Structure formats: C-alpha cells, structure tokens
Structure 1
Amino acid sequence: MKTKFCILILTFVFLQISAQKTMASDSISRKKLQAIKKDQSVKIDGILDDEIWKNVPVATNFVERQPNNGKPQADSLKTEVKFLYDDTGLYIAAQMYDPQPSKILKELTERDNIANDDFFGIIINGYNDHQQSLEFIVTAAGVQVDGKLTTENEDMSWNAVWYSAVKINEKGWAVEMKIPFFELRFPKKEMQEFGLNMIRKIKRTNTMYDWNHVDNQKGNYTLYDGVLNGVTDIKTPTRLSFTPYFSTYVNNFDGKTEMNVNGGMDLKYGINDAFTFDMTLIPDFGQANFDNSILNLTPFEQQFAEQRSFFMEGTELFSKGDMFYSRRVGGSPSRYPIIDEEKETVTEYPGKVKLFNAFKISGRTKKGLGIGIFNGVTEKMEATILNNETGAIRKEVVEPWTNYNVLVFDQRFGDNSSVTLVNTNTTRSGDFRDANATGLLWNIANKKNTYNYYGNFKGSWVMNDETKFGNRGTIGIGKFSGKNRFEINANYVSKDWDINDLGFSTKTNYGNHNVWYGYRILQPTGKLNNMYLNFNLNYYHRLESFLNQKLVFNHNNSFTNKKFQSFGGGVEFTPYGEKDIYEPRTLGRYLRVPGYFDSWLWFESDSRKKLQYNINVDYYAYDQKGRNYVVPSLYLRYRASDKMKIIWQFNPVFSNNEVGFSGKDASNIYMGRRQRNTYENAITGQYTFNEKMTLALAFRHYFSDVTYKQFYILNNDGSLDSNTSYNPNLNGTYNSWNVDLRYSWWFAPGSQLTLLYRNATSNYLEMSRMKFKNNFDELFNAPMINNFSLRITYFLDYNRMKNWF
C-alpha cells in the first residue's frame, strides 16, 4: 500500500513539473536599468558629486509596499539609484531624498542587525530565475546587513565581503556600495542579465518602498524583481579566500586555571560560477554562545540552536526537509561506558565530541538545480574508569571516529516550485550504530502563484544489532493569495521513525489532519494598517494500535494600528481532552489528560519609541479542579541613544497540579501530581561605538523548582489510582547562571577581533520551595567558570593577495 502511495505521489509530482516548465512571470511588470562600465576606480565615501556618476542612467519611481501597497513614492521622498561596474565588481550610488534630514533615524547596531534605522538595499539574482537572490543592505548609520533570500526563507547568517559608506546631506542621505563579483553568482556568458530589486525603508513612518512593485496579495518577494542589463564581458574572478584565526583562552574552574592557544583556518573556494567549497581546518568553537538550558521534565530531549558560525552560514540547502540538525556533529557521545557499579567509577566522561574537520559544497546551476554536500569528521573519544579496589585505570571508547554526510538535490522550476531529494548518513567505526535517512519533498505552485500543492515522503534506517526502518509523510494543498486563504494537510510518523544520529525527531507513531483558514487585510483601513485572522482544526491519532488522541481547535488574530502598535490574542481548546501516548514512556500505554481552554492576549508597543514594551499573558484552564498553566511574559527595551540600549526579558511559568511521569518498575508505571514554578530573567545591553565596534553584555538566570504532591499508578485505560507506597523524593531545583561581556571590532572587511569574558555556573538540588536568598547562596557556592578569550580572524582574498606580489 505504501509503495503504491509513493508511486502515485511521484507520478503527480513529475506531471506537475512537466506542466510548470512552460510557466513564467510574464504577468509581472519588470522595470529595466542599464549599468555602465567605467575603467577608473570609484571612491566609496558616500559623497555622490564625483564626475564618474554623471550621465549614468537613474532608477527611480519607487513604489510603496507597506503599509499602502502599490502607492507611488512621493517626489519629496524620491529615491535615485545608479549602477556602474568594472572588471572587479558592481558600484551603486543611491540618493534617498528626505525633506527632514535631521529626522533620519540611524541607530548604531552590530553587523547584520537593523534597529531603529532608515535603510537602503539591493536584492540581486545573478541567474535571473526568481528563485534565489543575495541581499546587500546599508542602514543610515552605516551598518552592513547581508543575506540570502529564497522562495522559502531569508538566511541572514550568510556573510559577504563588500564595501559601503553613507552620508547625511542636505537632500537627505546617500550611500555608495561596491559589491565584488567574487561574492556574486552568475553564469559564464558574454552578456549578463541580473534580476534586481531595491528596497528603502523610512523608519519614522514605518514605510517600505521597492523599485519594482511587490504585490503583497500573492506570491513571494523573489517573483517581483526587475532587470539589470549592460554588464558584459566579465571574466569570472577566482573565488578563493582564506580566513586564518588565532585564539587564546584562560579558564578558571574550581580553583584550577588553564591556558591554551589555538590556530586554524577556514577556506572558501569557488569551484565554478555556481558552486562554492567551504572548509574549516582545526576548528575552534570556544566563543560559541552558551545554550539556554532548562529543567526538562518532558519525554524528549531539549533542542538547542546552532551557535557555531561555520554551521550557521550558507545552510539554506541543508535545512531542506528538517532532516539535518548540525548540533549532532560534535555533540554528546553516543554511549556511556559499561561498568561494574560495585567496583568501578567513571572519573572522566567527555561532554562533547571533538570535531576534526568539516566541509560544505553548495550552489545552484543556471537550470535551477541546487546541490549541497556536507561532510564532517569527529574524533574518537574515551571515558576514564577507575577500579575502586585495585586502583587500576582503564579507558573505554564512548564515541569512535565518525563520518557525517548530507547530500541535497533541489530542483526549482516555474518561479515558485521545487522538488528536493535529501539524504543524511552517519557512519561510525567499530560496533557502534550507523544511520541513514532519505526524504523526497515537493512544493508546486500553479501558474498564477495562488495555490500550492506540497508534501514529502521520508525514510529512516538505523543499523545497530539489527536494522530499524521508520518513515513519515505529508501531503497538502493551500491557497496563499488574496484576503481569504486556506490549507488542508495530513501527515503521519511511524513508531520507528528515528533520525537522531544527524537530525532531530521526537514524537512518533501518530497521524495528524489539519484544516486552516485565514483572513487578512493587507491595506490600511479605518484605524488599522493590517489584520490577520486564523482558524485551525487539528485531529491527532495513534497509528499502532489505533487510538483517538485529541481534537484541537485554535483561533488566533493579530492587528497593527495606525500608531504602529501591534496586539492580538486567541483561544484554543480540546473538547474531549487528550490521551497522551508519550508521557508514560512506554509503547502502547497512554495517560488521560483533561480537556483545557487556553486564552491569551499580547501587546507590542511602537518600536520607534525610546521605551518599547511587549506584554503577553497566556492562561490554560483544565477541566480538573485546581489545575492550570499560566505563562506571562514581559519585554522592555530602552534606547538611551543611537549608540546605547538595554533590554530586559522576564518569562515566568506557573504549572499547578500538572501530572507527569515519575518512574516505573517491572509491574507499574507511576505518575506524580506536581507544582512547578519557573523564572527566567535575561538582560542584554549594547554600546556601539561605530558601525564596526561594539561592547555587548548578555546575562541570563534561569530558575525552576518542582514539588511533588501525590503519586499514582497508571492504569491500562489511562486513568490513575492513588498510591502511597511509592514515595520517592523527586523534588528538585535547577539553576543556570550565565554572563557574557564581549568586545567586537570589525577592523577590516571580513576580519574581526573578539575579546570575551564569561562567568557561568549551574546546580541541581534535591529540594524545592527554597527561599530566594538560600537558593542564591547554594548557587554561588557551586564552582564557577571564569573564562577570558581573545580571537582574531583575518580575511585574505586571493585576488588581492596576488597583487601584493
């Protein structure tokens, strides 16, 4: 049956591909601009009175995208842009007119961040295929922002090396930019035709403009670019760069001080006009951010965000299908040593596996085929075991040499459609487990870009003592244009689905059916700039053996008024309760959870003000006396000046009389009724000296305690019977404290110096409901990490280096 289903799906997909090949965006009007070649160099200083810019074609007549979609830009606020080029890159000069230059907003931020800023940017597509563009944005404060824009997402982790300068002048403000050709991707041909759009935002009115009009009623941004002509006879430059690094660390923990020095290099090479090879040699991730750890009482592991720059940059292909979780590479060992607990003790166990090296190859051909290859190798790691009787020490391998590989083929067509094949593979030496996963994904839009048909089918193989095969699939249809939108989909996950060697998966053995309807107003009307109303109906059931789990209705809404304040709320309820198949931690068993009614409200103040505050209150009322779940949150941001700001976030959670797993033995599964209180405080501050230099503070204190009130035996029908003989002490308090103080200086294009001080500690106590002072005393009595580190990276471009010699 599953084989027939797959054949039908594949037939449907390839029929759609054949139909879509003739599609084009002919209905979308495309402006055209001519770039002019100049042999003399252009001084990048933000002053546009150079002789070289005279008699160059001008792009103007920008069109408003938000809030009044389609409204022409006023003459008093007009934007004028010119393009030049030489053998090394594109040059852009833009004058943003503004009758009130003193009111141009220009908050300083770190690179790749936009705050209370006016900004201008270009979005350029070297293959002119409406599928993937590169963004180069400059704020009025001179801060550079760059990223990759695709039909699916915007990847701001991508960093390029380019040049820009801004000046406030009597007309408004101006920007000059140089985009080296080695940062662009375009085919080898005599005459280029680049897809091009340009954006401008005036922050004090929260107005966004585009050169080529973008209709917010349908499609995505990449469909609406214009055309840049005139770039001819460009020799594709050698795309080869090196980024060597030097780092040194001083660590103090529990009275012991250690110092180490590291060095290594990242390499980037353009294999051809479309594909790039990235490699990290002797990687060093010592300055990666701390993870926001929590007290996790769920049946599933906590998922952490990637913090390492090599794994964050250029990942748009590898993120396809959510099958690659890069934290697995260099994560925790896959085994814990087997010991004689009466005689032996594990004295050393590695918390992380060391990465030996890693590389990526990625790019897209002129016919729209994207290819991504990732490979990483981690080293053998051993635990140290002490024999308590003899004093002998032995080593045991807890993670062998391991190879991680990801392969992606992503074919795009018809402007807004794609079919993707993804494979991930983990191979460990010796008798450790290996794994493989493969997924086929499709997303096909109709010719008018108003409907899409999407789905996937994935399989996982885990090879240990025997092979375990699991699979999952999704199919759906949606309307993503106009005021009225909808989506209908169904998906399933088999009980043996497991991609946790190189991916991340939690819930299995279920089917889900979803219906969504959305109504939106995208043009200002009355007192509102926009409005979104959403209605969802979800039905879940267990696959093996079949069991109705829950039916969930959800309505949520959001509004933005003319003062640019956003607010909204919603309700959600489960009229028949839930049969939770995961909390018992035992296949075939479930816990009956009473139905709940959830309601929430939120408000976000105008972000242009010096003081911004966001408030959210979420309250779950269960159909059980005394049981509720309350999640308030508060966000405060104060901007003292264009250089300095501070943010405080407070996120408490109160769970009263929740019921969760507390243990099991050969005869019974035990559940506990518990009270849980969590408080999370985070403070971040930043002083930005200029567009290249920043001092930043990050602080987080997380505190969570849990108190068990009563224990039960779980019955086969999911109900609970009170039990007094089972009474372990499961009360606990978890604290986590992190402080980062960081100085960053981008002292040259692509080159950075970072000086970092860190202070961190955490503890878990087998008691709860401690007084606040006593809790802090216990926390600060625990050993603390004090770390000082210096890291310097320097960007070396081959084309510049060869001129040195």
Structure 2
Amino acid sequence: MLNKLGWTSIFLLAFLSLYAQEDSVSVSKRTYVTKALPVGEVLEIDGMLNDKGWNVVPLEGDFTVFDPNNGETPSQPTKFKITYDSKFLYIGIRCYDSIPSKIERRLARRDNFAGDWIEINIDSYNDKRTGFSFNVSAAGVKGDEFISQNGNNWDPSWNPIWYTATNIDKEGWTAEMKIPFSQIKFGAKEEQIWGLQLNRRFFRAEERSLWQPMPRDAPGWVSEFGTLRGLFDIQPQKQLEIQPFVVNQLDTYPPEAGNPFRDGSDFRFNGGLDAKIGITNDLTLDLTVNPDFGQVDADPGAIALDGFQIFFEERRPFFIENKNIFDYEFADGNDNLFYSRRIGRSPQGFVVDEDAEYVDQPKNSTILGAAKFSGKTKNGWSLGLLESVTGNMYADVLDTLGNGRRELVEPLTNYLVGRVQKDFNQRNSYVGGIITATNRNIPDNLNFLRKSAYSGGLDFKHNWKERKYYVEGNFVGSHIVGSEEAIEQTQTSITHLFQRVDADHVEVDGTRTSMTGTGGKLEAGKAGGGSWRYNGGVLWRSPELELNDVGFLRQADEIKQYAQLRRLFLKPTSLYRTAQLGLEQFTTYDFQGNYNRIQYEFQGFINYKNNWWTEAGAAHKPRIFSNTVLRGGPRWQWSEENFWYVFFGSDRRKKFNFTLGYVNSQAAEDNFSLKRYVFRCNYQPFDAFSLSLSSEYEENPNKTQYVAETSFNGSPRYITANIDQRTFNTTIRFNYSLNPNLSIQYYGEPFISRGIYDAFNYVNNPIAEKLNERVTLFSDTQISRPNNTGSYLVDENLDGNMDYEIEDPDFSFVQFRSNLVLRWEYIPGSEIFLVWSQGVVGFGDPTETLGRNLDSQILGQKKDNTFLLKATYRFIL
C-alpha cells in the first residue's frame, strides 16, 4: 500500500542505522559517597552552610560545562555536600560567583526558574528513566518536577513538601535543601544506590554546568546520571497526608428579566478532601472527595470549522499529578487511550421541550469522588489504577405555565483506568499494558449515549547500544456497547463517517449495538550519539476504533507512514551556540486503499552566539484528499499546497524579550490560504514583577468552505462557499511576587473570530484536479437573499420555484476569560487562594470589523463575575 517514496524513506533509515555509526564521547560515571549526620546533630535550613553538622562530609565539585561549550571548565565553580538522617536528605550547595552583585535574583511563583538557579536530580528508583527534581533559585524560589521518559517529560504538577533557603555572600551564593524521604520513592535495602545529577544555571553567560559530565549528543537525561552511595539503613517512609479544603464562591452576572435562574447572583459554600496514603513507600493512593477546581485557568478561546473536537490541556491538579504513568499516546497528535478531561465533562444531554421557557443547564458534571493508586516499585513495575464516579446531572426547567421540573442531562458514570509497565534488560527495555472502562446508567431520554466503552493496549520499547538506538510499538483495541441509536450516531459522527457515499469498506448499520476497532504504531530510530537523529514508522487506526468516552480520538480509518531525519550542530562556533536541520515525510491512506496525502517538510533552528534565535520551515503537499470535508459526502480533493513559516526572537534572559512570527500557506488556484502574524513578549521591569503578552492575528480565506448538505431532486447536494475568516486573540499574564510563597497572578484572553460567506457553489466532481471542475458557482439568478437578510433561497433549475434553502452561515464569535489570583502558601503544602474571574461570551455582527466587535461585545458588555475564597491545610501524619 505504501508508495515508492514511502518505501524509499524506510530503506534510507534502515541504511543509516547500519552505516552512520557515529561515535560519541565516552564519559565515565562519577560516584558521590555520603555519610549520615551524627546522632543529635541538627541542620538549620537558612541557606548559610555554617552548621557544624555539615562537616561530616566534604565539599565536592569539578563541574563541567554542558551548554554551550560542552566539556570545558565552567566560568564559575560549584561545590556541594550531601548528608542525611533517619527522616531527611540534606543538600548544601556553594555556587561561587566572582561578581556577587550581578547574581540574578528574579522572584516568581513556584516552578518558575528565573535567574540563577541550582537543581538536584535524584533517580531513587535507579531505573535510568525516571527521577525527582528539586530546584531553587538565588532568590529562594523553589521548583520541583517529576522526570519521566528519560528526560523527555518533566511534570511540574508534582508538588512535594520540602524545605529550602538561599543566601548571598562575598563568594557568591549558597543554598540548603531538606528533602523528606517520604517525598522520594525507593525500596527497602541495606544501602540505597541512586542516580544523581546536579545542574547549575549561570545566568549571565547562559551557561549550564553539571556534576556528572554529559555529552550534548547523549540519548537521554536520567540514564546518564552519576551515582549516589552511602545511604545506609534508611527506611522507606509511607506517605500519609490529608488536605481538607473549604470554598466560598459568589457568582454575579447581568440579570434576565423573568428568568428565576438568572436573577443576578448565586452563592455557594463547598468543602472537600484530598488525601495521599502511602500503601508502601513505592505506591501511593490519592483520594479526592467533591474536588474543587475553582482556581484553575480557563481554557483558551478556539473555534473549529472542520467539525472536529478541540483538544484542551488538563489543568486540574488531581489528574495531572503522576499523569505520566497513565499516559498512553498510541499514534500521533493527541490520540490517547486516557484523556482525563472526559471526567467531569459538560453534560451531553439537553432539554427538548417546546414548553420549556427557562432552562438552567449545568456547565460540568460533578465528580463525586476519585481514587488513584500509582507508583513504581524497586523491581521496575510502574503501576497505576484510577477510579472516578460522576453523578447524575439535572437541568432545571420552568415551563410556560410556571411549572418547574428537573430533567436528567448526564447520567451516573463510572470511569476506570489501569496501567502497568515492567522494566527489564538492565532497564533498557520495557513492556506494558493499559485497560480503560466507562459505564453509564442510562435512562430512556439519554439513549443516544453509549452504555459502556472498553479499550486496552500493549506497548513496548527496546533500547540498545547505550540507548542510542530504539524500537518501540503499541497495539490498541476498543469495544463499545449501546442502543441502536447510540451506535448509529457513533457510526455517523465525524470521527467515523460510515455514511460516506463513495466508501465501499464501511456502511451504516442501524441494527448494530456494538463496535470493535484496533489501532497501533511501530517505530524505530536513532535517539542519541553523534550528530544525526532519525526515525520512521507506520501507524494505523481502523474504521471502528472509538476512544472518546475516556480517551481522545480525532479521526479513525487511517494508515500513515512517516520518516524523519535531523542533523544537529552541537559544537558552538563564532556564529551560533547550537543549530539543527530536519526533514520529514509522510503519506496517509484509508482502509479502502485510497492514497490520500503526501507531505514533505523542512525545518531549521539556530541559537546565535548572542542567544537570539531563528526558527524556519517549509512544506510541500502535492496530494491532499480528505474523507471528512463533506461530512459524510464523497472523498474531496484540495488543490496542492505550499506553506512556510519563520519565527525569530531575542535573548530570553533579558528583562524584555520578544518573539515575532509569520506563517503563510497557499493552495494552488487560490483554493485556500492562511496568513498568521504572531507577537509575543515578556517584560520584567524589576525582580518581583513580570508581564507577558501573546497576540495572534489570522486571515484564512477558503473558496470551498463546507456550508451544508441538502437535497436536490432526491439526490444529496453538498454546498460550499468562499469564506473570509479572520481571527484575533491575545493572552495577557502578569505575576507579582511579594516573596517566594506569596504572589498575585493575572490571566486574561480576549478572543474573536468572524466569517463572512459569499460565492456559494455546489459540489459536482469532488476529486477533480481543477477547482472549477470540483464545484459549480450559483449564478445570481439561481440564488437570492430577500432583503439581504436571513437564509439564502436557491432555484437551481431556474423553474421559478425554490429548490432548497441555505441558512445564513455568517458568524462572529467573541469570548473573554480572565483570572486574578492571590496565592499564599502560608506553610509548605497549605495554601489560601483569593480569586476573581470574569467572563463573557457573545455573538457580534459579522459585517463589522474585529475591532468594533471586540469593543461592543467585550468592552461594552457587562460580564459574569466569580469571587472565590479557597483555603487548604495539609496534615502530615
């Protein structure tokens, strides 16, 4: 099924893997041997390193530069000590600086590593893939991240309780850290042997130096750590933490006359509980009862004219912590067997009643409770089990006679996700699996929902030759069960489109009550060593694959071949610090064997000597066919496309830095085009305050934008039109830190998109090469719009009678979201949030400019307001 170019790229990658055996610099592993604090000795965490307990271990240094001049002696030396007692690990670090007055001390919120900082990474599992990172800046701002995928994933949502302080003196600056063993996972042994790395950022020179030397072409991060020894007879500490919370919330909004559900304000008092229970030191049970996510940022504005669902990042703390264990990306893009945003989703039902005068529809499903069991054992088992229940959700209805009632719009639903992986072959390989289950208690009025949905998968990865080369793959399967209505609706959804009129391999069967599908990926490549990186593979999603009950699947019925090749320039020159060039190619098919797409793309990046940078790329798409453009109609051909982009920016260390970008896409015959202008900037006028702004303006005209499907003389008629679409959005953020534990943050985003349609046409030969053969324009005598308002009337055969009607598709969508949050971590792990949120959603006049609609629909509208006070207290038992 693969075309010649696809096979050529695969053979080229296979040849490179045999021929391009580049040797990288061999680096010996270092070992630090610690000693225990004498009994009775106490270390005060004040950043001073003057307690006599520190004398039990000597200072060790000999850091080497990682970036930019790999392997050289750092501009400023760094030394450290590590000791411990029965409960804590202590790290003392001396960061020498010959000009202490130039040490950069920028304040920020936790996990924002601004200015000079020092970081310690600990692989207490000693699995060469995962680790715990503790970071502190010269200003005393701390950060912590869980490292997975051998350094390819750093999760800042991990927020352990630990203690740190810094101090600046005539020799530079010092830092002390006190890390409870309860926050680090390890097994019971007489001596612990852990992976260890220390990483310093010397801000003025933008220099990174490491205790364990590491070449720039290393195949990973954690696998290259040195070793920490000397930890004798420390006992794993079972974690037991309980964190209750209370929330007071006041919502205000413009009242609606006569609507009892919109009287101008609502007040609620709420409470809940989060808990962490250490089943063993390795495995933790997380519980949440009636969770509240009121302080979480709003989703960015977006609009999708292609009909597909929009992927939004998870922002809720309970679900993002340890998310690496549950993650199962199986193909490309965002396709995943577990998408936690499904839990607590907006209700899928709605009130259908002509007598309903007022309806109060809930925005989200209530999560009654959730439990998450996760961790990694000393034997290399990664385990995860998540269970969550969302309650029945009702819409309150008031009919025209004044009678009130409640109607179920989302049923009681249970979600289950189980994940396991096992390391072997000296941690160079793993195999794993996942299962998911969604079960709903469905009444008759929600019979269009699937009753149950199950999915499972197997995955593996094998590394060899010091992890420079790898092969990985996965296989997934899904099975859904529901009423005939639910399964038919699934078949005709945009993810599947079994009703496609020219598809021979799928068809809508209204009697089915289940569907079963498969998917997967197989990939091999070179991940490290030398200057070349490459990979290639094949992935597929069968027509009946369905994951959208607790996973994310954009489109089924696809087979894709892909290949990538990159050349890295890692040795600094007089022009740049680092650079890279890349080539990509892919082809796609459907399961009927239709050859749908091929694309070639070039990418380049350069970081100049002065830390300015440029990123550019271009692509050619000589063949673009789509099974989804006509929403169940025949396969559609787009004119061939070329696109290119260029971004450049200034030194990100500076108190003012910026990024400018431009994206241009152009299809042949002006079928469609895209122009996107991007401006981003960050400004920190003084250490305690930072401001960032990100703006995008986009023009996206398209001569064949899908409008509707209708009928003409008993045959389907697919209507498209020319659209002039313009979109503008800006995101504004600022942070003011009174100290590392007390900050004020603001987030605001106005978003507006408008589209005006003209030059309506109908499809007559959707796979014709020429645009004018694909569609036929309506003449002025065929289409009319009385009084230039409302729907368009079409007399296609010019017999004087209206054949069909096209609803006015013009739109102008306007949205504004903002959060102002005061956050105070008054003791480690316990916080108070004071939140003010504003929002408004409106529909403007499409004939007006973006600026006028922005003014009238955002600046000129009364907004919804939410005032929230949330307090938490973490009990450590």
Query: Under a length normalisation based on structure 2, what TM-score does the superposition of the two structures give?
Result: 0.84
Mapped partners of 1:405, 1:658: distance in 2: 45
CA shift for structure 1 position 30? 3.2
In structure 1, the partner of 2:556 is: 508
What SS does the aligned partner of 1:205 have? Answer: coil
Match of 1:499 in 2: 547
Change (3 A) 1:430 1:683: closer
- Render the CA deviation track for 1:703-729: whole Å, top value 9, x for unaligned: 110000122222353422223315431
Q: What does the per-residue CA deviation read over 1:503-546, in whole Å, with 9 as the maximum and x for residues that have no partner?
A: 11112211111111110011212311111100011111222x22
Uncovered stretches (5+) of structure 1, i.e. residues with no partner: 1-24, 799-805
Q: How does 1:279-678 map to 2 (within 5 A)?
A: 279-321=287-329, 322-337=336-351, 339=352, 341=354, 343=355, 347-385=359-397, 388=400, 392-413=403-424, 414-430=426-442, 432-433=449-450, 434-465=452-483, 466-481=513-528, 482-543=530-591, 545-576=592-623, 578-586=624-632, 589-625=634-670, 627-666=672-711, 667-678=716-727
Query: For residue 570 of structure 1, what is the amino acid of its counterpart?
Result: G
Shift of 1:659: 2.7
Structure 1 position 27, deviation (Å): 7.6
Match of 1:9 in 2: none
> What is the CA–CA distance in structure 2 between the aligned matches of 1:589 and 1:38, rounded to whole Å?
78
Map of 1:210 onto structure 2: 210
Q: 1:203 to 1:417 in 2, by over 3 A?
A: farther
The residue that corresponds to 2:66 in the other structure is 65
SS of the aligned residue for 2:235 comes to coil
1:353 aligned partner, one-letter code: S
Residues 721-754 of structure 1: per-residue CA shift (max 9 Å, x gap): 2233154311110111122221111111011111
Contact 2:736 / 2:745 at 8 angstroms: preserved in 1? yes
User: Partner letter of residue 52 of structure 1?
Assistant: G
1:402-427 residue CA offsets vs partner (Å, 9 max, x unmatched): 11011000112333432220111101
Q: Distance in 2 between matches of 1:775 and 1:37?
A: 64
Alpha-carbon distance between aligned partners in 1 of 2:101 and 2:859, rounded to the nearest angstrom: 49
Contact 1:674 1:707 in 2 (8 A): yes
Aligned match of 1:38: 38
Match of 1:192, SS?
A: strand
| Pairwise CA distance, 1:772 | 2.8
| In 1, Cα distance between equivalents of 2:372 and 2:673 | 48
Q: Name the SS of the counterpart of 1:316 in structure 2.
A: helix
- Counterpart selection for 1:126 from 109, 124, 127: 124
Match of 1:679 among 728, 732, 741: 728
* C-alpha separation in 2, matches of 1:169 and 1:391: 75
Amino acid at match of 2:570: L
Q: Deviations over 1:525-582 (max 9, x none)?
A: 2311111100011111222x22121111100100011101111211111123x11211
The amino acid that maps onto 1:504 is F
Q: Summarize the Cα distance change of 1:579–1:704 in structure 2 as closer, same or farther, 3 Å threshold.
A: same
Matched, 1:273 2:281: yes
Tell whether 2:812 aligns with 1:733: yes
Q: Does 1:82 align with 2:84?
A: no
Q: What runs of 5+ residues in structure 2 fail to find an aligned partner?
A: 1-24, 256-263, 330-335, 444-448, 484-512, 768-773, 784-793, 795-804
Letter in 1 for 2:476: K
Structure-2 separation of matches of 1:383 and 1:795: 35
* Aligned equivalents of 1:778, 1:211: Cα separation in 2: 56
Shift in alpha-carbon separation, 1:158–1:771, aligned structure 2, 3 A? closer
Q: CA deviation at 1:236?
A: 2.6
In structure 2, the CA distance between the partners of 1:72 and 1:525, relative to structure 1 (3 Å rule), is same
Deviates more, 1:472-481 or 1:228-237: 228-237
Over 3 Å counting, the alpha-carbon distance change for 1:350 and 1:658 in structure 2 is: farther
CA distance in 2, matches of 1:781, 1:102: 49
Give distance in 2, aligned partners of 1:417 and 1:400: 42
User: Are the equivalent residues in 2 in contact too, given 1:762–1:782 (CA < 8 A)?
Assistant: no
Q: Which amino acid aligns with 1:118?
A: D
Partners of 1:459 and 1:123 lie apart in 2 by 37
CA distance in 2 between counterparts of 1:261 and 1:460 reads: 41
Letter in 2 for 1:244: P
C-alpha displacement of 1:197: 1.1
The residue aligned with 2:113 is 114
SS at match of 2:838: strand
Instruction: For 1:682 and 1:192, locate their aligned partners in 2 and report how far apart those are by CA, in whole Å.
Output: 47
Alpha-carbon distance, 1:369 to partner: 0.9
The Cα offsets for residues 420-472 of structure 1, whole Å up to 9 and x where unpaired, read as 20111101113552111111112211132111101111111111121111111
Structure 2 distance, partners of 1:453, 1:236, is 35
Q: Structure 2 residue aligned with 1:695, among 740, 744, 764?
A: 744
Moved more, 444-453 or 393-402: 393-402
CA contact (8 A) 2:182 2:281 kept: no
- Which letter maps to 2:232? T
How far the C-alpha of 1:770 sits from its partner, in A, is 4.0
Select the residue among 253, 261, 271 that pairs with 1:263.
Answer: 271
Give the partner amino acid of 2:112. N
Residue equivalent to 1:181: 181
Residue 96 of structure 1 corresponds to 95
Q: Percent identity?
A: 27
- Cα offset for 1:627? 3.9
Task: Kindly provide the CA deviation profile for residues 744-795 of structure 1, in whole angstroms up to 9, marking residues without a partner as x.
Answer: 1111101111111112111124633347335522445655211111111112
Q: Secondary structure at the match of 2:59?
A: coil
Letter in 2 for 1:100: I
Cα displacement (A) at 1:669: 2.1
Post-superposition Cα deviations, 1:266-318, rounded to whole Å, max 9, x if no partner, equal 10011012100101122112222111132221221112121211112121101
Distance 1:789 1:102 in 2: 41
> Are 1:38 and 1:84, in contact at CA under 8 Å, matched by a contact in 2?
no
Match of 1:136 in 2: 134
- Specify the SS of the correspondent of 1:773: helix
> What is the CA deviation profile of residues 130-187 of structure 1, one whole-angstrom value per residue up to 9, with x for unaligned ones?
1211001101110110011122411111110000000011111000110001101111
- Cα deviation, 1:575-625, whole Å, max 9, x if unaligned, reads 23x112112111x62222111111111101001222101011111121113
- 163-172 or 51-60, which deviates more: 51-60
Partner Cα separation in structure 1 for residue 539 and residue 189 of structure 2: 45
Q: 1:340 to 1:55 in 2, by over 3 A?
A: closer
Q: What's the secondary structure of 1:54's corresponding residue?
A: helix
Q: Partners in 2 of 1:463 and 1:474 — Cα distance?
A: 25
- One-letter amino acid matched to 1:320: Y
Deviations 1:35-58 (A, max 9, x none): 333322110001112222124133
**What is the CA deviation profile of residues 233-276 of structure 1, one whole-angstrom value per residue up to 9, with x for unaligned ones?**
22333410111112111110123122222222110011012100
Within 1, Cα distance between the matches of 2:296 and 2:654? 32
**Whole-angstrom CA distance in 2 between matches of 1:396 and 1:609:** 56
Residue 15 of structure 1 corresponds to none
1:223–1:415 contact (8 Å) kept in structure 2? no
**What is the Cα deviation at residue 797 of structure 1?**
0.6
Instruction: Please name the residue that 1:788 is paired with.
Output: 867
Correspondence for 1:720: 775
Q: Normalized against structure 1, the TM-score is what?
A: 0.92
Across the aligned residues of Structure 1 and Structure 2, the Cα RMSD in angstroms comes to 2.0
